[in-house]
Amino acid sequence: MAIKIDLRVPPCKPVPEITAFVKECEDAGFDGVGMLDSQMLERDVFVSMAHALMNTKTINVASAVTNPVTRHPSVLASAAQTVSEVAPGRAQIWIGRGYSSANVVGIPPATVRQMRDAVVMMKELMGGDEFDFGEISSRMKHGGGVNTPVYIAATGPRVMKVAGEVADGAVLMTGIHPNQVAESRELIFDGAKAAGRNPDDIETIYTCTTIIRDDIKEAREIARPLAVQRLMEKTYVRWLKAAGLDFSNFELPRGLWELYPDVPHAEDWEKAKELCSFLPDDALAEMCDMMGLIGSPEYCAERIKKAEAAGMEHLYLMTDQTYEFATGELAAFRDKIFPALGRAKQPA
């Protein structure tokens, strides 16, 4: 089976425009799209998902990612079942800690325990079972039937094991180096086995930072703030080490932590690039290859072929665009990369 490729689509425009772009993704040959859930930065994810599903035929649509702190898990379960009624089998719920949703309203992101409990609750409610909420037990009237798949977004080892224990899959932000892939899969499989589940039933999707330009140096420069973000995350040290990279000697500017709402979603992108200028070009090149598909269409097509040959089955392309659609990357895949991979364009 050919490697699956999904594209990140921020719900950053009025809903009809979001759906029009999702239809372009479908026509181009993408298998799925992922929509952000960040209530202060984007349109509502479930309204956007439903409208897109109603106006497309084959493409999968996922919340990428929602969270159990700004939305109670029972609310998520109801929303998940509702969007699945629009297009059975094409909706997915990807759930994470909710950094950009929680931070902007002054609440902490979800803990590992909260994510685990949320997935368990959602699955029980969607399955039509009664759930014990402490002083009251309730069931969701429209539960039952086929559950909407729930995936956990994970960077750290504890969350990966939880994904193996309770989720239908994991959306992993480790990087795509073979050692990172092998180590993360082992953690997920350990969680699945501990819970008495078949590890082969847990789908692994690898988040792939994707910036495509004709000039590879230009693409890497655009990716600079995203690379620096990895250096800011303590959890990510493990994955740098797995890829054979050690940048612990770099001093990170304090202003990085003051960007709103954070470095990957910075509204002041020029300021973000300025603060990230300390990273040497050779280190940036190594980081870019580890993070994903950053370069020319031809370069990225060859990297996808190598990933597929190494056994990777599903990529989620996360571009640098948070407040605009990834029109350039869509065009590059439609016109150059998918043809190079032998994937025919869907008829319009």
Domain boundary assignment for the chain: 4-216+294-340
- % of the chain surpassing 70 pLDDT: 98
Name the least confident of 62-71, 250-259, 337-346.
337-346
Kindly report the average pLDDT of the chain as a whole number: 94
Q: Is 90 exceeded by the pLDDT of residue 348?
A: no
Sequence-ordered list of residues with C-beta below 8 angstroms from that of 188, at least 6 positions apart, any chain: 160, 161, 163, 164, 170, 199, 202, 204
Please report which confidence band the pLDDT of residue 270 belongs to, taking 50, 70 and 90 as the band edges: confident
Superfamily of domain 4-216+294-340: Luciferase-like domain (3.20.20.30)
Residue-wise pLDDT tens digits, 187-209: 999 999 999 999 999 999 999 99
Q: Is 60 exceeded by the pLDDT of residue 346?
A: no
Mean pLDDT, residues 222-248: 93
Q: Is 70 exceeded by the pLDDT of residue 1?
A: no
Q: Is 70 exceeded by the pLDDT of residue 144?
A: yes
Provide the token pair at 267: 């509204």
Mean pLDDT, residues 294-307: 96
Residue-wise pLDDT tens digits, 16-60: 999 999 999 999 999 999 999 999 889 999 999 999 999 999 999
Name the least confident of 3-7, 116-120, 146-150.
146-150
Q: Is 90 exceeded by the pLDDT of residue 299?
A: yes
Integer CA distances (angstroms), 327 to 163, 286, 315, 321, 348, in order: 32, 26, 18, 9, 17
pTM equals 0.93
Q: Is 90 exceeded by the pLDDT of residue 273?
A: no
Q: Is 60 exceeded by the pLDDT of residue 250?
A: yes
Integer CA distances (angstroms), 341 to 276, 292, 296, in order: 34, 17, 15
Residue 343 CA to residue 56 CA, distance in Å, equals 19
Q: Are 316 and 329 in contact (CB under 8 A)?
A: no
Q: Write down the pLDDT at residue 146.
A: 79
Q: Write down the pLDDT at residue 266.
A: 84
Mean pLDDT, residues 251-256: 94
Q: Write down the pLDDT at residue 345.
A: 62
Polymer length in residues for the chain: 348
